[in-house]
Structure 1
Amino acid sequence: MRVLLNSFVARAAGGELPEEMQATMHLFYRHRIIDIDDELLKYLDGWDGPIYDGSSCGES
């Protein structure tokens, strides 16, 4: 597993992330600043913790 800041990699690649660097999940989604609207799994804590299901009760 690799954890990268996508913005740095995208800038280095001319604005687009290479296929092998595309995100496959979101970690620590409980602590997000903005909501991400995509189809990737959103783990509230680490990769082995609960998954965000879109409901407000999923974050308590």
Structure 2
Amino acid sequence: VAKSLGEDGVHNTLYAAVREESLEAPFMRDFVLLAKDLPFSTLKGIAHPAPVQSA
């Protein structure tokens, strides 16, 4: 049985922590690309985050 999570739904932010030595590994690059792009193409109502501004 599907239950509503409220009128506006639930909104969360996904964070990832990666060891510096793994950052450039091909598997990690692929994982991060999938994590960033897959939800936007498959889940209805998911929006791209605002660009990160550097200090």
- TM-score with structure 1 length normalisation? 0.24
Whichever structure has more helix as a proportion of its residues is 2
- TM-score with structure 2 length normalisation? 0.25
Larger Rg: 1 or 2?
2
Bigger RCO (CA 8 Å, 6+ sep): 1
